[in-house]
Amino acid sequence: MNIEKSGFSTKLIHAGEIDDQFGSATVPIYQTSTFSFSSAEEGAKCFSGDSDGYIYTRIGNPTIDALERQLAILENGFGAIAVSSGMAAATTIYLSLLSSGDHIVSTDAIYGPARSVMEKQFVRFGFEATYINTTDIETIKAAIRPNTKVLYIETPANPTMDITDLVACAKIAHEKGILLVVDNTFCSPYLQNPLDMGADIVFHSMTKFINGHADVVAGVIIAKEEAMYRQLRNMMINMGCNMDPHQAYLVLRGVKTLSIRIDRAQESAQKVAEFLENHPNVAWVKYPGLKSHHQYELAKRQMKGSGSMISFGLKDGFHGAKALMNNLHLAILAVSLGGVETLIQHPASMTHSKVSAADKQKAGITDELIRLSVGIEDVVDIINDLKQGLESI
């Protein structure tokens, strides 16, 4: 069968298969650092690129390759590069695409460390970055300079749940001759496919939805074109931020249930968002599946579902947020997201605490904002937990 033409859930189950000599139904863990060559000549061929035999696990490994083939198919890219974490994906992209004096335009409300690594570390290498509200297309156009090389988008943004128009961004990027990079972690390939909308590179923290079981830290980069894939892959190999075979095995196992996990989580998230919106202690709720989201129509257009991430603010501000977080019994007070368990956290004091107060203010990461990742527990239990937590304020 042609796996590339099959349905998404079929790809989740079968796109990561390999031909195993014993007929193993799952991908075996090739837990080895190195591979023997059948002859001196074969070893030389592997190194010269005339053979695609395996050499060394940092360069390639059958378990990791299986996962990479699967992710490339799920995102409709030329090839995928599995890496040790989502941040390894972000930094491999920055270091592959930027040279001293180059400039990047990026969403202001992005994953905190993806911004702070730029502003606090990569400035030393002469990289320049401008963080803006990418929901406004005119603001993007105005921020692009002659030395801009990359437009870097996260949508929905973390933690504001603002949506950036990917088709419009691809149009601007290509008019200006720059690359469009999208952090697709919040959606996973099940809900959004940026390469199909014109992006050049998409990446994920697979720690989140793709693995989905809160037991692995991992990342992946998918490039649309072969030349870009090779450039990124070489950087990964030389930086040594490769994935480990055992990590790849766990992600291969986790990803199989991606669609049914997300179906359940987003069905519950819709109910949770509606419950929160109607609660007297809640000031506001931002969820792409609510008509009150100011970009409801755009979300419907570019996402295949609303996902399971919700941000909301309490009338009682930071004081109320703390009271709620300290009084939940089911939801786990923890950073991360996209797992089977419901997680709650406070971005201003946790995931985004390294962003300056002024930049937080500008990006809408306010003190009252709480981020909720809805899991796959029974929704009645999730809502009851929030209800008693809100009543304790």
Ligand X SMILES: *Cc1c(COP(=O)(O)O)cnc(C)c1O
Contact residues for ligand X (CB under 6 A)?
85-87, 111, 114, 154, 158, 183, 185-186, 205, 207-208, 217, 219
- Asked whether the beta carbons of 161 and 290 are under 8 A apart, the reply is no
The least CB distance from residue 112 to ligand X, in Å, is 9
Residue with tokens 């971005």: 347
Return d(Cα 375, Cα 265) in angstroms, integer: 5
Return d(Cα 324, Cα 372) in angstroms, integer: 12
With respect to ligand X, which residue has the nearer C-beta, 57 or 247? 247
253 is catalytic: no
With respect to ligand X, which residue has the nearer C-beta, 46 or 365? 365
The least CB distance from residue 364 to ligand X, in Å, is 16
Side chain identity at 121, as an amino acid letter? Q
Return d(Cα 130, Cα 141) in angstroms, integer: 12
Return d(Cα 347, Cα 337) in angstroms, integer: 12
* Catalytic residue from among 149, 208, 286, 360: 208
Give the Å distances, CA to CA, from 172 to 135, 168, 176, 192: 13, 6, 6, 20
The least CB distance from residue 192 to ligand X, in Å, is 12
Return d(Cα 16, Cα 10) in angstroms, integer: 10
With respect to ligand X, which residue has the nearer C-beta, 207 or 270? 207
Reduced to 3 states, what is the DSSP secondary structure of residue 180?
Answer: strand
The least CB distance from residue 380 to ligand X, in Å, is 27
Please report, in angstroms and rounded to a whole number, the separation of the first and last CA atoms in the chain: 57
With respect to ligand X, which residue has the nearer C-beta, 162 or 183? 183
- Asked whether the beta carbons of 66 and 16 are under 8 A apart, the reply is yes
111 is catalytic: yes
* Catalytic residue from among 11, 58, 115, 360: 58
Establish how many alpha carbons lie within 13 A of residue 155's alpha carbon, considering only the half-sphere containing its beta carbon.
31
Query: Prior bond to 159 cis, omega within 30?
Result: yes
With respect to ligand X, which residue has the nearer C-beta, 158 or 268? 158
The least CB distance from residue 98 to ligand X, in Å, is 18
* Catalytic residue from among 65, 108, 165, 183: 183
* Residue nearest ligand X, CB atom distance: 86
- Asked whether the beta carbons of 154 and 107 are under 8 A apart, the reply is yes
Q: What is the DSSP string of 40-55?
A: HHHHHHHHHTS-----
The least CB distance from residue 187 to ligand X, in Å, is 10
With respect to ligand X, which residue has the nearer C-beta, 217 or 340? 217
244 is catalytic: no
Side chain identity at 388, as an amino acid letter? Q
With respect to ligand X, which residue has the nearer C-beta, 73 or 114? 114
* Catalytic residue from among 30, 111, 190, 249: 111
208 is catalytic: yes
Q: Within 10 Å of residue 80's Cβ, how many Cβ atoms?
A: 27
The least CB distance from residue 22 to ligand X, in Å, is 33
- Asked whether the beta carbons of 178 and 149 are under 8 A apart, the reply is yes
List active site positions: 58, 111, 183, 208
